[in-house]
Structure 1
């Protein structure tokens, strides 16, 4: 059986299990508590169980049925405590009581009745409680109402093999963090850079910047890892011609989008901007928002279309069936252009929003028709299963 330790403690005001002869108890009941009734549900043994041999048989039965259950060790711990008391000259008895599987009030009531039945036959004037955890010890007030509790002992199991296994696994992970470049560059590289930066800051008397330097390094490392920038950079040597098309279109599209924001800012009438205006004042001004949107939309749409067009060409040259989705994205982008322009007109010129609603409905109808046409076209050309997959 696994080894066990006894975590001994006594309730407030309780007497010790090895008192002086004047305060010695005449009869001591060593009581093992199994509140969730593992002894019954797993071992098939009814409680209460009274007597050394009966308790050993019950613990053995439970250990055979479930070797990992700690209650069997608690039973053997109660037997050991009983034998220690007897060897010291005490009059003692050992017993096991159990509650019910679902714990709760019914389990506590069952334990109370079993303790009562034991005390009717063995008139103990003190009890030593043995358990394997705090859950079993919640019934202490119930037992104390029937017999004084003079000691509480908790059995703690030592799983030496599990500890060795845990150390082996830990050592394997530490070795992986040190020697595997996929992990070492972050778990060793980032702390190494932080330590080096701190040392340089101390050498050059720039201690006031050390916090900013550390935050910048950590922020950069998190961004690189979050967006797989390191993997993207390392894959540049394996780029295909279609990948260059995608990269060029993405960079060109981002530049056009940035230019659209700059153009939108220049479209705002400068006489409408005041130094005392807050961000809320600016966003709530329909003229400012509308002017910014009017100057931004065209270039913004061109930038997004450039990105989507590059992805479309890349997938087209690779023969991927994802081209259907790429074409639909471009079609939806084109159909949304006019409604967005009409929305800016509603903000700046106060035109009727019903024209915007009608444009949206027309765009939705055209999108459905285009999606249906493309689906039928690619299904006949590539096979319906591939289209559905992508």
Structure 2
């Protein structure tokens, strides 16, 4: 079994320092190359890599294996030309020596990028990376910094905030004080980290894309979303106005309940408007309307009724709002007396109404969805019946193929005439 011990040099350091062209093949040739590289640059780690290649080859020979040691270099002009040069040299080595496996020796992560090229041509049994003990930490740090600076996104994410901080902090320290400047910069950095952590930039980009697509496609939901936004602002304003009318009320439970009581009708109308626009888009579209869009308006109304009922119950218990009074009325033979609805009765009415609305919504959504499915199935059946797949059955006669059997078998027809 022939094993190829190949020393990889992607940037052609050996060729630039010695003037030799690769590949360099053979024990004596590589050992002479060690001397040439060492005389040209004694501090180069490539000397250690060449010695490691010779050591690996010697160990394999001691185990009675046939070994071919070689040095393969790339090109320093560009990475693409370097990789292609290495691939061509490997093809020549494999064609000349026909190795069954290879042992790769490198001295940097840059050279290790050539390993897939070797693996695509011969089986790689081992990868031996030579790291000089005195320069291990320095080399690793340098490589990481080089990779970091080569990534544009990382530079913009890390280096730009650090640079802005170093520029802004002296200005803030001289104008408002070191403590205030540090607090302001820390706040900005915290907001930036939250902005990146929650992927707000991607959410904004997705929202802008959806808005642009909606405007270009003429969807009804664009208008209803704007109306819903206006109703939302009105609801928030009405809730804040209701809280301000409470005066100086201790605690936060009562103001929060008042805010919910006054804002929920407007917020429910906003959600109902938005869902109605989305439902209209589904109805106008070509695809069948999904059940979730049919049921959404009823769910919005039911949730609004429940929140309104519970907030009214707590506010009436605290004496903030008055009970509901049904005045007396006479309509012909029907008449009723004045009726006062207490907090519990009001809550029960709202809860029951919410349950009824949700059940009605589920029933309507189920009925409309089933009707849509039936219509889709009927259309599909008609298309299938009239489509090209509607072939005649095996037992039916094909007029173009039978025509009485005369065309299909003329000899049998003549035999019957002769018998008669």
**Shorter-chain TM-score above 0.5:** no
Q: With CA pairs under 8 Å and 6+ residues apart, which has the higher RCO, 1 or 2?
A: 1
Compare CA radii of gyration and give the structure with the larger one: 2
